[in-house]
Amino acid sequence: MHALDVLGEPVRRRIVEELVDGARPAGELAEVLHVEFGISQPAASRHLRVLKQAGVVESAVDAQRRLYSLKPEAVEDVTAWAQRISRFWNQRLDALETEIARGKAARRNVERNRS
């Protein structure tokens, strides 16, 4: 499963946002999700499990807590995908910019010829 497949879900994207600054205990993540989305701790655990199975996050046991952190490879996969897509749009936006500039130049020429 690709990271983007699981990041389509807003709750999972929020978990990833919470992990950007470093590892967080599952309990803290569950609390954030409860406050923001009203979901239970078991539901938060299911979302974390899906992210882990997709290779987006990893977990480690720290005494009585389970710490979750982002896997850099997953972020790199998403970044690479976004760069491929942005090349597609950048080409089209560049072409649009050229057409807009041509239209402005043509209007200026028409206005000059009227004067």
Where is average pLDDT lowest: 23-27, 67-71, 76-80, 100-104?
76-80
Which CATH entry fits the domain spanning 3-71: 3.40.50.280, 1.10.3720.10, 1.10.10.10, 1.10.287.1060?
1.10.10.10
Q: In 3-state terms, what secondary structure has residue 63?
A: coil
Checking if the pLDDT of 105 tops 90, the result is: no
**pLDDT value at position 38?**
97
- Of the chain, the end-to-end C-alpha distance in Å amounts to 64
Looking at every residue in the chain, the average pLDDT score rounds to 89
> Exposure of 100 by Cβ count < 10 A (0-12 exposed, 13-18 middle, 19+ buried)?
exposed
pTM score, two decimals?
Answer: 0.71
**pLDDT value at position 1?**
66
Nearest partner of 3 among 56, 48, 82, judged by Cα? 56
Amino acid identity of residue 49, one-letter, is R
Give the Cα separation of 38 and 50 in Å (integer).
Answer: 19
